Amino acid sequence: MKKITLISLLLISVYSVNAQNENSYNRWTIEANVGQAKGLAPYATGYFSIDRKTVFGKLQANSFTVASRYMISPKFGFKLGLNYENLKPTSSESLPYEMEIYGLSLDGVVNLIRLFDITEPMKRFGLLAHAGFKIDRMTSKTENRVTPYLYNDYGRTGYAGGLVLGVSPQFRFSKKMSVLIDVSLQNNFIQHFTWNGSYSDASNNLNGQKITGSIGLTYSLGKNEIHGDWAIIKDKNLLKIEELDKKIGDIENKLIDSDKDGVPDYLDQENNSVAGVAVDSRGRMIDLNRNGVPDELERYVEKTAKESSDKAVKEATEDSVLRLVNEGYVCAYFESGKAKSTDFSTEGIDFMLTFLRNHPNSSIDIIGHADKIGKTSANNVLAKQRAESIKNTLVKAGINPSRLTVVSQVEDTSVAIDSAEARKLVRRVTFRVTK
């Protein structure tokens, strides 16, 4: 019961780790290897794998493996493999023998570069470790002969099983393929054959050891264009936090109120209203009688008029109007790249038309502006075209062209270039009373 509980907790932990990550990597990998397998022990007297005078003996391609691997998380997975081996001596000093082996293995796999979080510095290199169980079907192909010690069992078949441990360095040479080198050590707890084909008594279990070195190719299956062992994995929680930060940032940008009138810029159609002057829900200074002067300012002027002489009232009104004009509170706005003013700019143009009609001896400069998007030369032309457009509107309304001077103020660099909302404030035409 304790073992079942422990295994259950382990599976839940692995699943939880996997659930925290985006399913943005390829989980399935197939591989094919070819290499050399050598039985280390046991051998009957007179039989051995390599010359006693050499360390490894001559190379012999006698091991072939195909396998399929599934990663339940970026770090841990399982591999199922099919194997064929044909063991023969690589030494002229050994008696001849042949052992044919078909094997089935199931291994747990650990991606060590992910386990130690060194994927980035390792770049295209990788390292896997695996451990599991292997069952072999062993058939002796050694000719029957009576040796001084043992009788070979040609054609006899037996089964062996044991533990396999191995490491697999790999190098990714394309987006989905890698070359892999595997070194594995097998220790059989159940084995009745010697590697040369002699069968021991059923009650005499042999402890067999074998080492295999191979090279092969792996291919990653799945929609992701990068091999699953190297894919960049993003934590789902981090992605949610990033998405939330972006949404909060968007909301904060929308709530910016440049002229402090209580109406956010994205709703404000008059982003330069005078501080303290009442505005409507669209941020426009309230002018119920449509005389071109905001009601709050008009009431202030009327109050001043009651306390001052007619001359003082007139001067106060003139000063207020001049301040509105010369300090840039009266504007016409434009869309990006356009020389035609927006619909809600008519109030500013109407204000100047009323002013010029009420002051027939006054002249004004019409000053065009542009934001910093695009080339400076093009922006200079656009700023001038905007001023010309407003001039043409005033001329068509009956104002003498000699009273209107077009001025290009070129690019306005006073706002952040990466803020679309802020750039709306500088795509405008302002006015200046010259006399």
SS3 72: coil
SS3 280: coil
Delimit the CATH 3.30.1330.60 region(s) of the chain. Answer: 256-433
d(CA 355, CA 275) in angstroms, rounded, equals 22
Average pLDDT of the residues in 167-193:
95
d(CA 331, CA 367) in angstroms, rounded, equals 10
Delimit the CATH 2.40.160.20 region(s) of the chain. Answer: 23-233
DSSP classification of residue 293: S
pLDDT over 80 (residue 97): yes
133 close to 159: Cβ distance less than 8 angstroms: no
Q: Are strands 208-221 and 177-190 parallel, antiparallel or unpaired?
A: antiparallel
With cut-offs at 50, 70 and 90, classify the pLDDT of residue 17.
very low
């060590």: which residue's tokens?
112
d(CA 387, CA 401) in angstroms, rounded, equals 13
Look over the chain and give the mean of its residue pLDDT values, rounded to a whole number. 82
With cut-offs at 50, 70 and 90, classify the pLDDT of residue 99.
very high
pLDDT over 50 (residue 12): no
With cut-offs at 50, 70 and 90, classify the pLDDT of residue 305.
low
d(CA 130, CA 80) in angstroms, rounded, equals 11
């000053």: which residue's tokens?
367
157 close to 138: Cβ distance less than 8 angstroms: yes
Helix orientation angle between 346-358 and 376-396, rounded to the nearest 10 degrees: 50
Helix orientation angle between 310-326 and 346-358, rounded to the nearest 10 degrees: 140
Token pair listed for 111: 């991606």
With cut-offs at 50, 70 and 90, classify the pLDDT of residue 412.
confident
d(CA 272, CA 246) in angstroms, rounded, equals 28
Class of domain 23-233: mainly beta
Predicted confidence at residue 77, as pLDDT, reads 97
Cα–Cα distances in angstroms (integers) from residue 247 to residues 20, 243, 250, 268, in the given order: 22, 6, 5, 21
Instruction: Report which of residues 272 and 149 the model is more confident about.
Output: 272
SS3 212: strand
Predicted confidence at residue 11, as pLDDT, reads 46
Is the backbone peptide bond immediately before 169 cis, with ω within 30 degrees of 0?
no
- The hierarchical CATH code for the domain 256-433 is 3.30.1330.60
Task: Give me the phi and psi of 69, to 5 degrees please.
Answer: -120, 140
The residue type found at 55 is: V
Token pair listed for 233: 């994995």
Residue-wise pLDDT tens digits, 228-258: 999 887 656 655 666 777 777 777 676 677 6
d(CA 280, CA 288) in angstroms, rounded, equals 11
pLDDT over 60 (residue 392): yes
Residue-wise pLDDT tens digits, 135-156: 999 999 988 765 554 556 788 9
With cut-offs at 50, 70 and 90, classify the pLDDT of residue 18.
very low
Q: Which long-range contacts (CB under 8 A, 24 or more apart) does 254-257 make?
A: 254/421, 256/421, 256/422
169 close to 125: Cβ distance less than 8 angstroms: yes
The residue type found at 286 is: I
Let me know if 178 is exposed, middle or buried by CB neighbors in 10 A (0-12, 13-18, 19+): buried
62 close to 37: Cβ distance less than 8 angstroms: yes
230 close to 134: Cβ distance less than 8 angstroms: no
Let me know if 174 is exposed, middle or buried by CB neighbors in 10 A (0-12, 13-18, 19+): exposed
With cut-offs at 50, 70 and 90, classify the pLDDT of residue 25.
confident
